[in-house]
Amino acid sequence: MNLPNRLTLFRIVLVPVIVLIYIFPYAQYGFEPRMFMFGSVRLSVINLICLVIYLVAAITDFLDGKIARSRNLQTTFGKFADPIADKMLTTTMFLLFSSRGIIPVVPVILMVCRDIVVDGCRMIAASNGKVVSAQMLGKLKTVLQMVTIALILLNNLPFELWRLPVSRLMLWFSAFVSVASGFSYFNQLKDDIFESK
């Protein structure tokens, strides 16, 4: 297995790690996570730890693609696993935030439904011998989602100091781009989807 694929698998492994750290019942074991104050904004050390792990995962996302292209190490497994790793990471984080009432559930539902549609399109394309790589709009969606997640982990800092709801706006914009990229994938593969045999 080449280096880009190892980085992709490493990103997948980080998902349960960040989930465990984020949802662990610290209070039940007598541990009270430290809180930091930035003006009137409170930020837990747990959020900061999750942010560091999340940023490491995001960096591997950048590196695996860059290394694969520069060294001509692109593989079918990489084209298959890389978007799955991205979706596992971003969807898991959004579900965690939604479960805690930090963000509304509607944009999360839109993004999850988009991923289901795109995965269905990919499966149909694969049955016809096609491997569909990520489109530019899909890559933009991933970048927007990653920035949004980082802002949410930071409790919208530094924008929260000026009462600017940037993380909330980014969340809805991410959902919009996500749905738009879903339509783009569907349009690209509509001949395969509606093919009659």
Structural domains of the chain, ranges and CATH numbers in brackets:
3-193 (1.20.120.1760)
| Confidence band, pLDDT 50/70/90 cuts, at residue 68 | confident
Q: How confident is the model at residue 133 (pLDDT cuts 50, 70, 90)?
A: low
pTM of the model: 0.90
Q: Average model confidence (pLDDT) for the chain?
A: 90
pLDDT, tens digit, 9 for 90 and up, residues 1-25? 788 899 999 999 999 999 999 999 9
| Predicted pLDDT of residue 190 | 79
Query: 123-139 in b/e burial notation, b at 16+ Cβ within 10 A?
Result: ebbeeeeeebebeeebb
Query: pLDDT tens digits, residue range 153-173?
Result: 999 999 999 999 999 999 999
Query: Which residues contact residue 174 at a Cβ distance below 8 angstroms, ignoring those fewer than 6 apart?
Result: 107, 111, 141, 144, 145, 148
